[in-house]
Structures are given as structure tokens and as C-alpha cells.
Structure 1
Amino acid sequence: MENNKATFPTIGELVREIFNITGLLAQKDRSNSFLSESNKKKLQTKLKRLADESSKIDGKLEELIDSLRLLLESALGEERVIFMVLESVEDLLVTYKSVLADDGTYLNKRNSSKWFIQQYLLDRVLLSFYKNYLKINVPASKLNLPNLKVWALPDIEGQNINWPLRKAWQLIYESLSISQSSFHYPDKSVDDYRANQNLENAQHWSTTDQIPSISSLFNNLEYSLSLLECPSNGSLRRLLSKSERQRLKIILFIGRVSSYCFRKLESNFGREYLISCIEHVKGQSGRLYRINSKLDKSIKGLKKSTGLTSEVDINRLYFYEVSRYWEHYALDIGHGTKVLQSYIAHESFQELNKIEKAKLVLAHVGSFTGHQVLTQLALTPAIKEIPSKFIELLNEGMLLKNSYDSLDNIDNYHNELKQAELDNVLGWLCNWCYANYYYHHKSFEKSYMYYEQAFNQAKYSAGRNQYLLVNQYIESCAKNGKFKEMKKAVAWAQYLGIEVRWLRGWDDPESEGNLKSLYNLMGNHNMQYAQL
């Protein structure tokens, strides 16, 4: 039954997966230079504290993002690339919070994740990548990375998949005009266990779905390069500059991140879904690339006309112009979306054929956002089909929670949910009805039991429908001597942007003093606030 529970992944699960994607946390080998054992334990503790959601969730997120930044600095060194990665993570977290606060879900965790990825994540991360690539003027770093569209996506050849990590290694070999064997184990006359192991690992990574940690990849690269720099067989010595070594590491990092992400898509959702995501990324990348090309050309014209030569001034110009462009873009899209929504809501929209719908959408919000909208329209029946009787029973429960006359009505509603197999989807609403009934009759202990269940069920599924419930649960905690639980509820409210009664406008709502004051005020059994 748990697998059928309607829910999004928790914020703790999402952040842990972000660290897994980078490969900087999963360290089975002891030779990792990015994270000592003690620092790894500290990071694990921070992740656990976030998962507990006990206080100041946004603050804990900031701590973890700072830890990620330090790891990236140690691993990659190139500040522009690090900035792009962190901005993409920040944009993802902001988007996820918005979805939790507004959208809600009636799907289980697997399908909620599937829907979120294709509805929001792919476009949000792509937009962040392209916007910040130009905004911070990444080309000025002179990394000369090969065209990402060519090698940083999986190639599907029949039943086989050529993952980006394999292609990343191949790019390294080709850039040095050397074979895989000669790169990792250049002198077979020397008994070198580590070189032999590096070669076997590289062959394994190229022919299987295994995704190694970044430390394993970088240690392999560094040792292989050291053998080329100090050959033992009298062959030509190869010296690579620090910037070239950094370039090769970034290629491996991108290959590893991309392989991990797309491998997860296939293993969790299947080959067909993987292919649809790859095609979506290719299409949207092309649209954003065209936007960037026009914008870059315009900025270069401004640079020439103003005679800017200082690197600092040029970077500022890119930062300002790109920021200004996307601010105006957001305003234009916002206006176009409002007009488009009125068309889509009209019954005549459903009478249009597929091509007519596409033309109408693209005319109002442009190619990039337009394909987002078209994807959303296509996903509605395919992934997020509304369960039978869901809307009817949701509306019935929202009305019933404000009725306190009879337990029989709530019992009947509970049975309706079971018969419609929606008790794992709308169970939070049923428990909310019971909680309000007992609260109204001043049975605060019984009401707490139901408020607690409703709150925990609704956090990652009810979206905007949980706003009043959160305040009611906070009061119920106070009335039942549950200070620790009340703190967690306030932390959740602050994270989602839900205003907490009697804490509105306070500079530090989660300070111990303010929470104690709220606890004492709400805990008075002679004062009832929950149903106001």
C-alpha cells in the first residue's frame, strides 16, 4: 500500500539525489581527495538534519549547497563551471518548492517524480544552463569543451546505449591521439598493478552501465597522465598544462553527471521514457542555443561599439545584458501565458487539431516555453490522468471538513474513498475531517491524532490545499504539549511560505523565544483558533 501512496519525494531525498548525481559523495574508495572521512560524516549529518525537517529548512539547504560548492571547488576548480552547476541546483530547488506549495499530486512517488521531471525539471535545468553559460561568459574561460549536444547525451543504437561517460573517455583518448590501452597502461613490460586496474576499470565503465564516483574517475585520469609524463619505456614524454588537465576533468565530470541522470531515467521509467527525455532535451537545447546565439551576437556588437577591452568590464556587460534579456522574457511570457490560458480554458480549444493547437501556443509564448506548454498538454492524459471520482471526492471532502454535525458523514466519506481506491490519495483530507470534528467538540487529544496524520500525509501531496491544515496542526501540537512537533510544523510552514497565525511579520519566526510564545498562546484550551 505504501507504494501507492500519493506523494512527491521529500526535500531530503531530492537533495541527497543531487549529491549522488555529482558523484562527490559516494566514496567507496579510500583515495578520495575531495572529502575526508570526518567531513563525509559531517555532510551525512547535515543531510540527515534536512531529512528530519525539524527547523529552518531553507537554512539547512543553504548549508548543504555551501558544502556542495566546496566539493565542486576541490574537484573542478573552474569557478564559472561551478557557478553554473550551483545556479542549476538553486533553480531546481526553487522550482520544487513551488510545486510542493501549489501543485500537489494524486500519483505515487515514482509517477510523481516521472511527471515532475518531464513537466518541470528538464526545462528548468536546461534554461538555467544556457542562461548562465552566457551570463557569466563561460567562453572566456577558454575551456574549449567539445560541443555538448554531440557527446553529452546518450546515443541509442538498437538495444545498446552509448553512455556519455564512455564518450567522455573517448574524447580524452582522441585529444591525445592515443588508444585506451596505451593511455591507462602504456608500458606492459612493467608490472604495474594500478595501471592494469585502471585499464580494466576504464574498459568496464565503457562496456557496462556502472557509474563510478568522481574520485575514482579523477584518480584513474591523474595516474594515467602521470605515466605519460614519466614514461618508463623510453617513449615520447607527454606534458599537459594545468588548464588542460582541468579541461579533461570537466569532460569526465559532465560525462559522469549525464550518464548517471539518464541511466536513472531508464532504470526507473523504461527505455521509451528515456528516449522521449533525450528528444525533449535535444529540441529545447536547440531552441535555447538559437536564443543564446542571437543574444551573444548582440552583446558582442555592444562590446565593439563601446570599445570595452577590460575582462572585468566585458564580464559585467554579459551579466547585465543577459539578466535584462531574461527579465524581459519572463514578463513577455507571463503576459502571453495569461492570454493563452483563456484560450485553452475555452471549449473551442479542444476542437482544434494538433497542428492548430501548436500554432496557437507558439504564437503566444514562443518556441521554448511553447514546447513546455505542449509537453504539459500531452502529459495530462499520458502520465497524470485524473483518477475516477478524484475531483468529486476532493470537493466533497473540502466541504465536509467544515461540517461538524456527525461522525457518520465522515465515516461514509471514508468508505467512499476506500471503494474508489483513493484512501491513499485523499486520506489526508479524511483525517482532516475527523480532526476538525473532534476539535470542534473540544476533544483536543483525539483531534491531534488525526491532525498529525493529515499533516504528514498532506505535506508532499496536497499542494495549496494544505495551507489551513498546517496552521490547525500547529495549534493542535500546542494544545497537546507537543513542542518538538510544533517546531517541525512551523519549519515546514516557513519553508513553503505559509503564514503562521501569530508569527506573521516577525523577523525570526523560528527563534526559540518566538516559538515558546506561540506554544503558550496556542496551548490555551480556552482559546480556539483552528477553524477561523
Structure 2
Amino acid sequence: MSENPCFPTQGALVQFTFDAFGLLPRKSDSSDEFDETSKKSFQRLLQRLGDEEGLLLGNFEKALGTFHQLLASQIADQEVCDVVTGTLRDLYRSYNDMITEEGTFLAKHLSVLYFGFSRAMVTLIESAYFRSLQHRLFCRYGLVPIEPDWFLPEIQDSSEITWPLARVMRWIYHQADSSQTQFHYPGKTPQSDNFIYERNLENARNWVSGESLPSLPGLLSNFSQSIRGREDGIRDDPDLAESTPLLLLVARVSTAICREIHKAYGREILTELTNDCSDLVRSLKPEVTEFKSEMMNAKGTEDLSEIDARTWDNAYAQYMSFFYFKKHEASETLKRLRAASPANPFKPPVIHALTEKLGRYPVISQLYPITQTKRWNVTEDFKQLLLRGLDLKNNSATNTSDSEEFKQDLRSHDLEDQLSWLASWIDAAIAYRSEDYSAAMDLFEQAFEQAKYRAGKAQYKLVNQYLEACAKNDQKRRFKKGVEWARYLGISIRWLRDKEPTEENLDFVFMMLSRAMYPQL
């Protein structure tokens, strides 16, 4: 992984999502959606998106549309697809909030880990669980493993790791009262000669052993063929047949993600994340169970699918309002504890009392990101140089000598990579104030490129100053490219704001920025 201090691009996360779901069929898979030519063309689009080349918004929307199309071609239940895409949207919003609000001084792979610990895990768990609850998926997919953390790897004290896909496959065999051989090669005997079943069995053995990870089309096709080929057993258990595609989908995605974590960060981090995720899931389950029980008691039925949609949706909305109220109360209490006793704010008896009052999950879901972010404490040198650099950038008296001294201090503290964008921004501000707009534009562009995915809230001012410099130099093409990137990340543009980026509106913004002067940079 790159050691650049930044977060990955949004396009890189889109690429990772496709890889994790395994949606793009392989040569060995039969697919009506993508032939090899279409697949290669789409992979080039993903690569351009990851590299932030071309029309970012258009390619981003096309990638999301293709994702939904491919997922729907494999998962027939539209509500499952809605839960998946809704959860991904929530994760995307969480990531977008982070990259536009928080800067990073960490290498890219550590910035990813920071996102995982500080935001992604809680967002993923809540979104997946509550969206599933909203759509009442539990009414249609009642046969699932009893362990709440069935979708996580099992990590033994030895070096053995049982990946989620292997766990789920073995669970399916057990529920079908079948061996792996007889499940994938129904009726196999020494005289049997069925190429498809033989291939399915060989692939399944490789997947359980962890030797390879199938594409989603290949995985679902294998199990579908096996289920259709069985004369008894699973064909007589419609609940298992119904649940199998959903379980395999979740297990496939989880396995892909966990294997990447293991590869990038090692066994210790994977174990920590797995244990933390399991704890959060087990703590959330009573919240969901409580809501279901209240609905059963209120409506006098154990079959919650009988409740009409309007009644269910209203009850769900009220429940979520109460749930987020408890989380807000937990958050405010934790803030007061930190303010009252910064050195040791979260004393066990106090946290225990809070969980007794609000429930365990609302408390630990707020406490978890706080305790985890401590592992990435910002150094005092970084803090001081960041604040000093921003002061230099804002001070109209700053000159070239001040800038060079700042750069030397960055070098002496080994912070050139982390704050290169700020050094370039200071130089751009000096050129801007001296009305050397040509030099200012090049320096703003340099700072703009260096600050991408690392400067947090500072990106708003920097992007807008770069666009202003483009306008003052009559650089319409650069201006439009900067607008495209800002809109892609959801960064507001002066004079455009929420308006559509029509040619007329962009011409107006371009004209206004070419004339405007902003003394505060």
C-alpha cells in the first residue's frame, strides 16, 4: 500500500466494493449481463474512477447503477438489494463526511484503518441491522445461524482462521443433513460421471479450505445447481433454500473484507476488529429483540409479517427516534465526563450506571470510536506546525522568507509529506496578495492536488481559492475540472452553492470569481 498521508479516493472505495462483492463474473462463470468485452470496458471505467480521471460524477453514477444491476441479477429479492445498497450509501456518507471534515497525517493504509475503527464499524452494523428490520427480512429469512456473529471469521489461538464463507457453507451442509460431497454431487457413486457436479464439488472444497474465493455469480450458481439436483433433503426445506443466497452473499463479502484486513494489517488487527464487531452486534441484538417483542405484545401476534405496512413503518420510525435519543443522551453524557475529568473520564462504575439507564449498545457505540481514536494521537509537532502554517497563510504580512522558514521546520520535524499542501498554500497566498495571479494559480493548483483526501475542512477554502485563481487567469477548462471534483466530494462552491452546474450558472460563477477579491485567505 502507498505510504502517502491521505485517505483513499472515493473511486478506490468503489473499486474495493466491486471486488468485495465479487459481482464481476469470471471467464468460468456463465453471465447474461457481462461478456468479456463489457467487463474489460467497465473495469477501465473503475480504474479511471479510482485514479480520478474523466467525468467523475458521471462515472460514479454509472458505477453505482451497474452495481445495482449486477446485484439484482444475482439476488432476486428487491428488498435485500435495497438493504445492501442502502447500507453502502450510509457507509459512503460516513466516509464522505470524514474526508471533508477530518484531515489525516497517517499513511493511506493507516487512514483506512482509522476509518474502520472510528466510523465504519458502527455505521455498518447499525445500517445493516436496522434496514433489515425496517424491511422485515427476518420474516422471510428465518433460518439463519443462531450465533449473532455468524458472518465473522473464527480465529483460534493457533494460526487457524475459519473464514465466514467456510462457516456458512458448513452450516448449510449441516442444516441439509448432508456431507459436502453429497450436497454438491447428489447421488455420487464410484460410477458417477457428471462434469458439472464434479466441478462444483471441487470448487466448493477449494472455497471451504480458503484456497480461493469465488465470484458471487459462480458461488450462487454452484449452490443453486446443487439444490436443484437433490432429490430430497434440502428441496423439502424451503426455508433453507430461501436463506441460502442471502447467507452466501453476506459470507462472501465478509470473507473478502476480512482477508484483505489480514493481508494488510495482520492477525492481531483482524482479531481485534472481529472481537469488537462481535461485541457490538451482540449488544445491539437486545435492542432489536425488544422492539419485536413490543410489537408482538401490542398486536397480539408472533407473526410480525401480519402487521400492515403503515402500522409497521410508524412503529419503526418511533422506535428509531427513541433509539437515536438514547445514543444522543449517551454522547452528551460522555462529553460532560470528558470535560469534567480529562485525565480519566470514563470510570467503570459511571459507565456501568449509564448502560443500566440507556442500554449497553447506545453507550458503547458512542464510547467505542472515542477510545479507538486515542491510538492515533496527533503529535504536538504536527499540531503546532499546522496551526502556525494556517496563521501564516491567513496573515497578509507573511512573506517568502516566512514561507521558507516554515518549509525548513517541516523538513526538520519530518512532516514535509503530511503538510506539503499547507506549504504550497502559503506560497499561493503570498502570490495572490501580490496580485501575481498567474503564479498564484499554479501554486493553488499544487496545493489543491496535495490537499486532496488529507486536508479535511480546509479543502473548502482551498478549492474555492483555486477556482478563483483559474477564473482570474481565464482558465475555463481547469475551472470546470475543479468544479467537477468539488461537486464529486460535495464541497460547496462560492456563487454556485446548490444551483445546478449549467453552462449559464458556471459562466456566472466564473465571471464573479474573476472579479472578486477575498482579503481573508
Q: Which residue of 1 aligns with 2:461?
A: 468
CA drift of 1:159 comes to 0.8
* Aligned residue type for 1:514: N
CA drift of 1:145 comes to 2.4
CA distance in 1, matches of 2:509, 2:143: 57
Classify 1:182/1:375 alpha carbon distance in 2 versus 1 (closer, same or farther; 3 Å).
same
Q: Is 1:196 matched with 2:198?
A: yes
Q: Is 1:494 matched with 2:487?
A: yes
Deviates most, 361-370 or 165-174: 361-370
Contact 1:5/1:108 (8 A) holds in 2: yes
Q: Is 1:343 matched with 2:334?
A: no
Question: Alpha-carbon deviations, 1:98-142, whole Å to 9, x = none?
Answer: 111212211111001001101111111100122112211112224
Classify 1:282/1:417 alpha carbon distance in 2 versus 1 (closer, same or farther; 3 Å).
same
CA drift of 1:11 comes to 0.4
Classify 1:332/1:55 alpha carbon distance in 2 versus 1 (closer, same or farther; 3 Å).
farther
Q: Which residue of 2 aligns with 1:321?
A: 315
Q: Which residue of 2 aligns with 1:173?
A: 173
Contact 2:330/2:363 (8 A) holds in 1: no
Classify 1:86/1:108 alpha carbon distance in 2 versus 1 (closer, same or farther; 3 Å).
same
CA distance in 2, matches of 1:124, 1:467: 25
Question: Alpha-carbon deviations, 1:329-386, whole Å to 9, x = none?
Answer: 324433542343233134x23145752564476478752242234333332332x121
Name which of 469, 477, 496 aligns with 2:470: 477
Structure 1 segment 124-523 matched on structure 2, within 5 A: 124-147=123-146, 149=148, 151-157=150-156, 158-185=158-185, 186-229=188-231, 239=235, 245-304=241-300, 311=306, 314-346=308-340, 348-351=341-344, 354-356=347-349, 358-359=351-352, 362=355, 366-382=359-375, 384-405=376-397, 406-506=399-499, 508=500, 510-523=501-514
Deviates most, 493-502 or 34-43: 34-43
Contact 1:434/1:450 (8 A) holds in 2: yes
Structure 1 segment 87-106 matched on structure 2, within 5 A: 87-106=86-105
Number of matched pairs: 516
CA distance in 2, matches of 1:462, 1:10: 13
Percentage identity across aligned positions?
A: 28
* Aligned residue type for 1:423: E
User: Which ranges in structure 1 are unaligned for 5 or more consecutive residues?
Assistant: 230-235
Q: Secondary structure at the match of 2:105?
A: coil
CA drift of 1:426 comes to 1.0
* Aligned residue type for 1:164: P
Q: Which has the higher contact order (CA 8 A, sep 6+)?
A: 1
Contact 1:55/1:487 (8 A) holds in 2: no
Contact 1:7/1:106 (8 A) holds in 2: yes
* Aligned residue type for 1:410: S
Q: Secondary structure at the match of 2:28?
A: coil
CA drift of 1:210 comes to 2.5
* Aligned residue type for 2:495: W
CA distance in 2, matches of 1:197, 1:374: 49
Contact 1:475/1:530 (8 A) holds in 2: no
* Aligned residue type for 1:387: T
CA drift of 1:259 comes to 1.1
CA distance in 2, matches of 1:457, 1:416: 18
Contact 1:361/1:374 (8 A) holds in 2: no
Root-mean-square deviation (CA), in Å? 2.9
Question: Alpha-carbon deviations, 1:187-213, whole Å to 9, x = none?
Answer: 441333333332222111111252211
Classify 1:340/1:255 alpha carbon distance in 2 versus 1 (closer, same or farther; 3 Å).
closer
Contact 2:163/2:210 (8 A) holds in 1: no
Classify 1:144/1:494 alpha carbon distance in 2 versus 1 (closer, same or farther; 3 Å).
same
CA distance in 1, matches of 2:54, 2:509: 17
CA drift of 1:220 comes to 2.2
User: Which ranges in structure 2 are unaligned for 5 or more consecutive residues?
Assistant: none
* Aligned residue type for 1:276: E
CA drift of 1:473 comes to 0.8
Contact 2:463/2:486 (8 A) holds in 1: yes
Contact 2:7/2:108 (8 A) holds in 1: yes
Classify 1:79/1:314 alpha carbon distance in 2 versus 1 (closer, same or farther; 3 Å).
same
Q: Secondary structure at the match of 1:349?
A: coil
CA distance in 1, matches of 2:402, 2:85: 51
Q: Secondary structure at the match of 2:230?
A: helix
Deviates most, 351-360 or 252-261: 351-360
CA distance in 1, matches of 2:304, 2:243: 26
Q: Which residue of 2 aligns with 1:528?
A: 517
CA distance in 1, matches of 2:343, 2:381: 22
CA distance in 2, matches of 1:32, 1:308: 38
* Aligned residue type for 2:431: Y
Structure 1 segment 53-92 matched on structure 2, within 5 A: 57=57, 61-92=60-91
Classify 1:322/1:479 alpha carbon distance in 2 versus 1 (closer, same or farther; 3 Å).
same
Classify 1:240/1:43 alpha carbon distance in 2 versus 1 (closer, same or farther; 3 Å).
farther
Contact 1:6/1:109 (8 A) holds in 2: yes
CA drift of 1:489 comes to 2.2
Q: TM-score, normalized by length of structure 1? A: 0.88
